[in-house]
Amino acid sequence: HAPMTWRSGLALLPLVIGGLVSPPPIDRRTVVGRHDVQLRHEQLDPVATRWDALTVGNGEFAFTADVTGLQSLNRTYRQPEAFPLYTMSNWGWHTPDPAAAGCPHRLFHGNGTLNYTYADVQIRSRDPRPGKGNRTVPYQFDCRAHNPPCACDFLYRFPARVNLGQLAFVLPVDARQPAGPFRPLELRRIRATQQRLDLYTG
């Protein structure tokens, strides 16, 4: 091979320097924005629109909005198999009265403890520590074999998250009385909608 001359060395210098230069920073907003969810409708269809709901949240709180940006079309979205317009959280839970749910079984004792029969599960272990060897432990397993079916169904469903409330646009019944009374917004009165979920800002 021919020896490298100073001219060929200068030719390689930009490549070496270029390898040491850091790449430009990523424009994260642009990258994420490419995947923004956008829904457009010239005319809203009652069947298709009930699926066009977008939810924003932070892991602790979530708000589901319709094409109005709020939850104004709740009547449309409450149809069977529709997308519910809820405001949910990790701190909002409810446990109704079991009797109101159609279960005559008394699920709670007078002191508030659960009236529930656990299954006895045999644990086999060579662990020499006290209480860790072969033993029998209560376990919530095969509920219906030890408890009334309605009690099991109730415990499978509750406690459950509760809808915290709904925000909606409304219209005055009489345009000459803007202070009310009001009526719900009707889907047929909405035209040319454009709904966009900014994934970067939420």
d(CA 47, CA 80) in angstroms, rounded, equals: 10
For the segment 140-180, what is each residue's pLDDT rounded down to a tens digit? Answer: 677 888 888 888 888 888 888 888 988 998 888 888 888 88
Q: Do 91 and 103 have their domain in common?
A: no
Q: State residue 84's pLDDT score.
A: 80
Instruction: Write out the E strands in 58-134.
Output: 61-65, 87-89, 93-94, 119-123
pLDDT band at 81 (very low <50, low <70, confident <90, very high): low
Helices (H) and strands (E) in the chain, counts: 5, 11
Task: Report the alpha-carbon angle 59-78-73, nearest 5.
Answer: 85
Structure-block tokens of residue 4 = 């490298």
Q: State residue 9's pLDDT score.
A: 54
Peptide bond into 148 cis (omega under 30): no
Q: State residue 47's pLDDT score.
A: 67
For the segment 90-133, what is each residue's pLDDT rounded down to a tens digit? Answer: 998 888 777 777 788 887 777 877 788 877 777 788 888 887 88
Query: The pTM is what?
Result: 0.58
Total structural domains in the chain? 2
Q: Do 137 and 177 have their domain in common?
A: no
19 lies in some domain: no
105 lies in some domain: yes
Q: Do 84 and 115 have their domain in common?
A: no
Q: Do 83 and 102 have their domain in common?
A: no
Give the DSSP H or E segment for 42: strand 37-43
φ, ψ of residue 42 in degrees (nearest 5): -75, -40
Q: What is the mean pLDDT of residues 178-199?
A: 82
Q: Do 43 and 141 have their domain in common?
A: no
Q: Do 60 and 148 have their domain in common?
A: no
124 lies in some domain: yes
40 lies in some domain: yes
13 lies in some domain: no
8 lies in some domain: no
Q: Do 101 and 149 have their domain in common?
A: yes
Q: Under DSSP, is residue 141 helix (H, G, I), strand (E, B) or coil? A: coil
16 lies in some domain: no
132 lies in some domain: yes
Q: Under DSSP, is residue 64 helix (H, G, I), strand (E, B) or coil? A: strand
Give the DSSP H or E segment for 130: none
Count CA atoms within 13 Å of residue 131 on its CB side: 1
For the segment 14-56, what is each residue's pLDDT rounded down to a tens digit? Answer: 555 555 667 788 889 999 989 988 888 777 766 666 677 888 8
pLDDT band at 88 (very low <50, low <70, confident <90, very high): very high
Q: Which domain holds residue 105?
A: 97-157
